[in-house]
Amino acid sequence: MASEIKFTQDTMKQFNVAKSFTVNKDRINAMNFSLDGETLVSSSDDDSIVIYDCKEGETKRTLFSKKYGVDLIHFIHGTEQVLHGSTKVDDAVRLLQLEGNKYIRYYSGHTKRVVSLSIAPTEETFLTSSVDNTLRLWDVRIPTAQGLLNAQTTSGPASRPVANFDPEGVVFAVGVQSSLIKLFDIRHFDKGPFATFRPLDNNDSNDKQATNTNQSNEQWTHLKFSPDGKMICIATNGTSLHLIEAFQGLPIHRFNDIVNDRKEPLQCCFSPDSSYILCGSGDNRILIYKAESGEKVIEKQTEHNGAIQCIQFNPAFLMFATAHNNMLFWLPIIDSQPADELSS
């Protein structure tokens, strides 16, 4: 399992493109690995759902959701079903049976586009946030939301909320107005957050003015817990990436060398051992930082022809994937060949 490997700088430097796929005609807007790491699913602005075999390094099949569009795709209950957001008709989340390309259930309630979808490890509960400034907690078996949270505060303008579960699925974090994080216990979410903090207000005085100027033009676009649950990485539509302590909100590092001229909603991910942070950039680069020191250890140019908005590490195999219009699989290349145990 990749989570049992201790990643080093040399390990990260060995990653290179092992497979390249050009299935899509438009931007890939989301992707998700199955828990066993053997399958990857992606959704695209061209209304397609592409399923990849990670062991064989090939595409398995392509489905389409021409009527509703598709975004925020995520496996649930193995690899037979996916949840996804909608880009047409309405703002419902949909449960799709991949075999037969049949919809099983619609989850309606949001009145504007859903911008984040997170599934708890139990796979019976999922969380959505929307630009309607609400978050909804769902039971996958029931079409109506089991909980509703208003992300709009009385002070400040409306903005896109972001949310995600911690690795245990007991706590979820909500980012509000690109400045405030609220932590909820899923068992008592109706009692309100058990912790609230403004993590980016605690920067060192030496660079606080520059930070505040930069942050005032940025929106948070992605929030991700580290696999060990100790850190949260916050990606933006600007040039900053923020790493904070998960339960007190203390800033750990701020990374400011990301190019993002078009203000794309970027994402971030961790290596399975939580020691490295990976993010895409608007100029086709992958940036890899060491979580402990904040040092940028690797910068890789890619074959992508635009901003890398999707980047994820495989939870089981020593590989990660990146996407723009094309999909790239990255493996540690040894002597110009993938290592035997990683060969696709």
pLDDT band at 218 (very low <50, low <70, confident <90, very high): confident
Mean pLDDT, residues 38-60 taken together = 97
Match 């400045």 to its residue by tokens: 179
Strand 71-76 relative to strand 58-64, pairing: unpaired
205 band by pLDDT with thresholds 50, 70 and 90: very low
Q: pLDDT per residue over 77-107, tens digit each? A: 889 999 999 999 999 999 999 999 999 999 9
Please report which confidence band the pLDDT of residue 70 belongs to, taking 50, 70 and 90 as the band edges. Answer: very high
Q: Cα(328)–Cα(303) distance, rounded to whole angstroms?
A: 8
Cα–Cα distance between 77 and 208 in angstroms, integer?
45
Q: Within 10 A of 336 (CB to CB), how many other CB atoms are there?
A: 6
Confidence of residue 157 (pLDDT cuts 50, 70, 90): low
With H, G, I as helix, E, B as strand and everything else as coil, classify residue 321: strand
State yes or no: pLDDT of 12 exceeds 50: yes
Across the chain, mean pLDDT equals 89
- Whether the CB-CB separation of 294 and 276 falls below 8 Å is answered with no
Give the confidence band of 302 by pLDDT, cuts at 50, 70, 90.
very high
Any idea which of 6-20, 201-215, 288-302 has the lowest mean pLDDT?
A: 201-215
Task: State how far Cα 28 lies from the chain centre.
Answer: 13
Q: What's the confidence (pLDDT) of residue 322?
A: 98
Identify the pLDDT of residue 1: 60
| Residue 122 clears pLDDT 70, i.e. is over it | yes
Whether pLDDT at 297 is above 90: yes
Q: Which residue has the tokens 């066993």?
A: 36
SS3 content of the chain, % helix, strand, coil (to 5): 10, 45, 45
Residues 220-250 have pLDDT tens digits of 999 999 999 999 999 999 999 999 999 999 9
pLDDT score at 156: 52
Read off φ and ψ for residue 238, nearest 5 degrees. Answer: -115, -140
Share of the chain above pLDDT 70, in %: 89
Using only C-alpha atoms, the chain has a radius of gyration, in whole angstroms, of 19
Mean pLDDT, range 198-208, rounded to an integer = 60
Q: Is the pLDDT of residue 208 over 50?
A: no
pLDDT for 210 beyond 50:
no
Query: Where residue 206 falls among pLDDT bands split at 50, 70, 90?
Result: very low
What confidence tier does 201 reach under pLDDT thresholds 50, 70, 90?
confident
152 vs 160, more confident: 160
Task: Answer whether residue 330 shows pLDDT above 90.
Answer: yes
Q: Answer yes or no: is pLDDT of 315 > 50.
A: yes
Give CA–CA dist 279/313, Å, rounded.
Answer: 11
> Which pLDDT score is estimated for 270?
97
CA distance 204 to 211: 9
pLDDT value of residue 257: 85
Q: In the β-sheet with 48-53, what is the strand arrangement from edge to edge?
A: 28-33, 39-44, 48-53, 58-64
Dihedral, CA of residue 153, residue 156, residue 160 and residue 163, to nearest 10: -40
